[in-house]
Chain A
């Protein structure tokens, strides 16, 4: 299978830059998969778990916390608002964050606080799913 360049950046750093054969990303209208030679495609991303596969068969997961993806025949660029590889995730921290956000949600909240709590839950869930937990 042909390889293409996958580059994942967030505003703070480069998360990944690697030759891959396949990547799956959480688009705003649903998950989509990319292989080399894909038609030019520009998508908004939502919170979710992405996954890529290298030519040697190794697959790895990563979180995507919104952003954009630019797919070109020879490269895919993920401009994530937030992104991290599964190995970089601290499971305990994500679990605590999820519990706290759920607690906050049970209280009366303003519109803004509610939106924030929901985002926090989505963030924590994306992280936990990326490390293979069912939430």
Chain B
């Protein structure tokens, strides 16, 4: 039976949950703003890097480089960027589902896959299911930075060059706006000059130093840029998802408090009415 005291306890619980979710929403909003600034500021460099490689690719055959080498994909690596913490709605589950679907669509068995997990959620899911994990790094709550990107890019580069991985993809959440994140699968290695729109321009470049030497510097830099951009996008997406989730949780708690208060008031009213009826009934009986 619902008692008045029980109702009060439930309202109190809902209120303290609402306080927590509200606080988390504010924290996420602050972190989102910072992460968003960083990802937006970093996009031009990544975009320019794309353009440059595209123009170089169109200019003619690129000289040989280990990072350009196309091989039959026997083992495929995936860099999966998730978050360390939960309470961000379906953010991590969407990424994990994208990862699983990608593996399935490529017709790969778990043994043909190597995962490079940034973020504990993805790591926990796949290590429990016995997928080979080549590298695991936590996703910093303050946002991923150059150092994280460098660790991942270096590891991936080494695995690719020594032949442990024949192909590598990035799976991360692209930051569209605070309430929209889009799980994205991006081919990372071997590096293929992006096709993009062909504006018809063909340049006959002069290189300084030689094209080989330049490429040996440019391609690792390109790889690093792609990884960094993905991690920055992932950080901003995570905070956006958490802010949205916490905002909805606060709203739901508010609704629950309203409903519970209404029910409690009805209960109290009923109790008072009953008491009055008893008193009046008693008085009537004495008069009689």
Contact = CB atoms under 8 A, between A and B. Distances in A.
Contacts of B225: 11
Contact of B208 (A11, A28, A79): A28
Nearest to A43: B208
A70 interface: yes
Interface string A4-23: 00010111111000000000
B45 A79 contact: yes
Nearest to B228: A11
Given A44-B214, A70-B55, A29 B209 contact: yes
B41 to A, nearest CB: 4
Contact of B41 (A13, A40, A44): A13
A5 to B, nearest CB: 12
B44 A72 contact: no
Contact of A41 (B48, B49, B206): B206
From B38, B42, B48, B59, name the one whose CB has the most chain A CB atoms within 10 angstroms: B48
Interface centre among A11, A39, A72, A77 (most CB of B within 10 A): A11
Contacts of A42: 52, 56, 205-208, 211, 214
Interface string B222-236: 000100100000000
Given A13-B44, A40-B204, A79-B45, A70 B209 contact: no
A79 B44 CA distance: 10
A27 interface: yes
Contacts of A27: 208
Contacts of B211: 42
A42 B59 CA distance: 12
Contacts, number: 72
A68 interface: yes
A29 B41 contact: no
A27, A39, A42, A81: residue with the most chain B Cβ atoms closer than 10 Å: A42
A9 B43 CA distance: 10
A16 to B, nearest CB: 11
Contacts of B148: none
Contacts of B270: none
A72 B203 contact: yes
Interface residues of B, number: 28
A14 B44 contact: yes
Interface in B22-71: 38, 41-42, 44-45, 48-49, 51-52, 55-56, 59
B218 interface: yes
B145 to A, nearest CB: 10
Contacts of A79: 45, 48-49, 52, 221
A41 B44 CA distance: 21
B205 A13 contact: no
Contacts of A29: 208-209
Interface in B188-215: 203-209, 211, 213-214
Nearest to B59: A40
Contacts of A70: 52, 55
20 contacts: A7-B48, A9-B44, A9-B45, A11-B42, A11-B225, A11-B228, A12-B38, A12-B41, A12-B45, A14-B44, A14-B45, A28-B208, A29-B208, A39-B206, A40-B205, A41-B206, A41-B208, A42-B214, A68-B214, A79-B49
Given A14-B44, A28-B209, A44-B208, 8 more contacts: A12-B45, A29-B209, A41-B206, A41-B207, A41-B208, A68-B52, A77-B51, A79-B52
Closest A-B pairs by Cβ, 5 of them? A40-B203, A13-B41, A9-B45, A43-B208, A14-B44
